[in-house]
């Protein structure tokens, strides 16, 4: 915490010095959304390059003066929380002054900018994110406050903890981890008791694009157990993008790649090539939108696809057909086909990429 306080004090000192010299104070932050600032490393995923381009948030410029003020406001809130050893969610910060901040996304972006500017993980800034992910299966652990959580005996899923770094005593006999894109598929597998029928496993869903805590938990489970991690996604560009976030990280959070990415993640399904192999009826597939075409074209150009020839082939199948499929399409074969046939066969015969 002294490191965090010192980093904030240095920023404020810079502001005060500028004022003393009758200069307009400026905050310098990295261009987090610029692909030119990102390098791809097989062992880490997408990470920010050391000498990346920056942008200035000036206090004397009408376009950025408000953002400058909001950054100082949030820095002061973080400073107080670290000093008093208290925590707040990003939502708490937004609701402390909704009129001032205007929207939740403004708060989210500023907190990420501050984390990147100070080179300190968000968790160390005492800012928690509201969790939306679920975990179930062969796993138990102790939360920071001493609460014992057992995901094995629960008929319903457990919410991913809001302080993943604080959990300890993780125990599991799981043979693999299954990341499921959607909540509906996750719940279906839970109802079918999938995590104990095939072989003990841990199931996780980020319910779409995963939040920070879900990504941190996947990484923590990988560090703790070193067991295979498979993904079950829709066979569409959006599903592929979500899988890439777990595996290689996102551009906007590339400054924290080392804590968040798991490059060993494997693509289990739903593969575009599965659709032909299983004779899925064309009527059950969904035609691409223009947005889908653009998203797929952008994914195909990304640096990590070049080192994944088998993924590349699957994306080419998808691009050629201009059709996408949700995981639920497997119910057109039979109601419990996913948990009874599809996943067990894939896991037994190595049907992943």
Could you report the per-residue pLDDT of 87-130, keeping only the tens digit for each?
888 889 999 888 889 999 899 889 988 888 888 887 788 888 77
46 Cβ contact partners less than 8 Å away, ≥ 6 residues apart: 38, 39, 40, 248, 249, 250, 251, 254, 257, 261, 304
Phi, psi of 342 (to 5 degrees): -60, -60
Strand 45-48 relative to strand 38-41, pairing = antiparallel
Residue 332 scores a pLDDT above 80: no
Residue 46 scores a pLDDT above 70: yes
Checking phi first, is residue 338 left (phi over 0); if not, alpha (psi -120 to 50) or beta?
alpha
Task: Identify the active-site residue in 95, 304, 337, 342.
Answer: 95
Mean pLDDT of the chain: 87
Task: Output 23 or 46, whichever has higher pLDDT.
Answer: 23
- 2-128 is a CATH 1.10.3720.10 domain: no
Cα dihedral across residues 125, 129, 135, 140: positive or negative: positive
CB 174 within 8 A of CB 200: yes
Name the pLDDT band for 36 (thresholds 50, 70, 90): confident
Name the pLDDT band for 155 (thresholds 50, 70, 90): low
**Side-chain-side CA neighbours of residue 335 (13 Å):** 2
Is residue 95 part of the annotated active site? The answer reads yes
Is the previous residue joined to 270 through a cis bond, with omega within 30 degrees of 0? yes
CB 19 within 8 A of CB 26: no
pLDDT of residue 97: 87
Which residues on neighbouring strands pair with residue 205, listed in sequence order?
A: 134, 180
User: For the chain, what are the domain ranges?
Assistant: 2-128, 134-349
Average pLDDT over residues 184-197: 84
Q: Which tens digit of pLDDT belongs to each residue from 215-259?
A: 999 999 999 999 999 999 999 999 999 999 999 887 777 777 777
Cα–Cα distances (Å) from 78 to 84, 85, 184, 213, in that order, read: 10, 10, 37, 19
Q: What is the CATH number of domain 134-349?
A: 3.40.1360.10
């Amino acid at each position: 915490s002294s490191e965090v306080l010192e980093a904030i004090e240095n920023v404020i000192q810079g502001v005060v010095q500028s004022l003393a010299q009758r200069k307009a104070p400026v905050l310098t932050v990295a261009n987090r959304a610029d692909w030119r600032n990102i390098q791809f490393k097989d062992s880490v995923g997408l990470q920010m390059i050391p000498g990346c381009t920056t942008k200035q948030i000036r206090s004397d410029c009408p376009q950025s003066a408000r953002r400058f003020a909001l950054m100082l406001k949030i820095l002061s809130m973080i400073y107080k929380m670290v000093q008093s050893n208290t925590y707040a969610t990003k939502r708490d910060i937004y609701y402390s002054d909704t009129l001032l901040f205007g929207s939740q996304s403004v708060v989210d972006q500023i907190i990420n900018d501050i984390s990147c500017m100070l080179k300190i993980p968000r968790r160390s800034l005492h800012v928690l994110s509201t969790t939306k992910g679920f975990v179930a299966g062969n796993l138990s652990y102790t939360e920071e406050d001493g609460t014992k959580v057992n995901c094995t005996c629960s008929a319903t899923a457990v919410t991913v903890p809001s302080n993943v770094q604080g959990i300890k005593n993780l125990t599991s006999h799981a043979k693999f981890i299954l990341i499921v894109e959607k909540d509906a598929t996750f719940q279906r597998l839970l109802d079918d008791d999938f995590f104990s029928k095939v072989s003990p496993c841990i199931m996780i869903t980020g319910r779409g694009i995963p939040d920070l805590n879900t990504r941190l938990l996947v990484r923590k489970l990988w560090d703790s157990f070193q067991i295979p991690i498979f993904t079950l996604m829709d066979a569409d560009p959006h599903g592929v993008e979500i899988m890439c976030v777990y595996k290689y990280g996102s551009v906007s959070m590339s400054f924290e790649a080392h804590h968040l990415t798991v490059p060993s993640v494997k693509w289990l399904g739903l593969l575009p090539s599965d659709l032909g192999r299983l004779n899925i009826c064309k009527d059950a597939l969904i035609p691409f939108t223009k947005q889908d075409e653009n998203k797929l074209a952008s994914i195909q150009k990304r640096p990590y696809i070049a080192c994944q020839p088998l993924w590349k082939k699957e994306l080419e199948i998808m691009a050629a057909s201009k059709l996408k499929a949700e995981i639920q399409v497997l119910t057109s074969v039979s109601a419990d086909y996913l948990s009874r046939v599809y996943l067990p066969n894939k896991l037994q015969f190595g049907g992943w990429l």
